[in-house]
Structure 1
Amino acid sequence: MQAGKAPSAAPAAEAAPAAAPAAAEALGKVFFEVGSSALPADAAAAVEATAKFLKDKADAKVDVTGYTDKTGDTEKNLELAKERAKAVREALKAAGVAEDRINMKPPVSITGSGDNAEARRVELNPGS
C-alpha cells in the first residue's frame, strides 16, 4: 500500500515546483521606452519592492537581467539591455542595496513574435 502512495505523491510534487517558481519568484519588472536606457518613473515600485525584500532577508541577493527583442541590430540590442540593467542596478544602490547583493545576469534575447514592449524590460528575481 505504501508503494501506491509514493507514486501518487511524487508526480504531485513534480508538478507544483514547475509552475510555482516563475510566478512566485519574480520581484519586479521595469519596462523601458524604445531605444532608451533611461530609468522610467514607474521603476520606483519595482526598486522599492526589491530593496524591501533584501532588507527582510539579510542573506538574499537579487538577479538583474535585461531583455531585448529580435528586431534591429542584435549587438546594439544586447548592449542596450545591459545598459538598462545597469540603470536598475544604480537605482537599487541608491535605495540602499549593497552592490555585492546584486547579481548582474547576461542579457537575454526574446525569440518568437511576442510583445516587443515585454522584451524591453529588466527583471528582478531572487538571486543565488
Structure 2
Amino acid sequence: MSDDDRDDSRKVGLWVVFTSVAVLLLGVLGFAVTRSLKSPSAPAATTAVAAASGASAEAADVLVDLTPTGPALAVLYFETGSASVGAEDAAALAEVVKALAGDGARRVLLSGYHDSTGDPAMNAELAKQRAKAVRAALVVAGVPLQQVLMRKPESTTGSGTDREARRVEIRIVDAP
C-alpha cells in the first residue's frame, strides 16, 4: 500500500469521525431545543417583565381570592401541555388593553383553568403558567403589571371538551 493510499484512508476515516461527531452534537442540540419548547414553563418574558417593572417575582405571583362575575372579556385557549400564547390571541389581548386604557382603578383578573385528566398538581401548575404567559403578553402590550391580578388555578368540572378546559379567562374588575 502506497503512502498516497494511506493518506486517503486517513482522510476518509477523519471525515467519518468528524461527520459522526457533528451529527451527534446536532442531535443533542435538537433534542434540548425541542424539550425546552415543550416545557410547560412560562416564557422567559414573564421573568423579564417582572424584573423590568421593579417588582419581585414573589410579589407578581400573588394569587387573589376574587370570585369572577359576569362574562369574560376574552378567553384564550391552549394546546395540551402548552403555556404559549398564540399569535391568534393578539386581537383579544388588544381588546383588553383598549378596555383598560386610561382607567387606573380597573384591573385585569386572569383565571386559569385545566382539565381533569392527568396529575392534578401538574395541571394546576400548568394553568398557573398559562395565566403567567397571558400576564406577560398583557404587560408587553402596555398593561402595567400592578393592574394584572391572578386567581388560583381551577379544574373545570361539568360538561365541555378538554380543549375548552385548557383556558385562561380575562375579566375587567374594579378591585383594590
TM-score by length of 2: 0.57
Paired residue for 1:64, among 107, 110, 118? 110
1:39-118 alignment to 2 at 5 Å? 39-118=85-164
Distance 1:76 1:54 in 2: 32
1:67 aligned partner, one-letter code: Y
2:155 aligned partner, one-letter code: S
Distance 1:58 1:102 in 2: 11
Higher relative contact order (CA 8 A, sep 6+): 1
Aligned position for 2:75: 29
Q: Secondary structure at the match of 1:22?
A: coil
- The 1:27/1:113 distance shift into structure 2, 3 A limit, reads closer
Aligned length: 106
Q: What is the CA deviation profile of residues 24-44 of structure 1, one whole-angstrom value per residue up to 9, with x for unaligned ones? A: xx2101111111001111111
Q: What is the CA deviation profile of residues 4-52 of structure 1, one whole-angstrom value per residue up to 9, with x for unaligned ones? A: xxxxxxxxxxxxxxxxx533xx210111111100111111112111111
Distance 1:105 1:46 in 2: 19
Distance 2:152 2:92 in 1: 20
Identity of aligned residues (%): 45
Distance 2:139 2:96 in 1: 11
Aligned position for 2:165: 119
- The 1:113/1:71 distance shift into structure 2, 3 A limit, reads farther
Alpha carbon RMSD of aligned pairs, Å? 1.3
Return 41-50 or 71-80, whichever deviates more: 41-50
Larger Rg: 2
Q: Is the 2:109–2:170 Cα contact (8 Å) retained in structure 1?
A: yes
Structure 1 unaligned runs (5+)? 1-20
Distance 1:81 1:109 in 2: 9
**1:57 shift after superposition:** 3.0
**1:56 shift after superposition:** 4.7
TM-score by length of 1: 0.78
Distance 1:45 1:105 in 2: 23
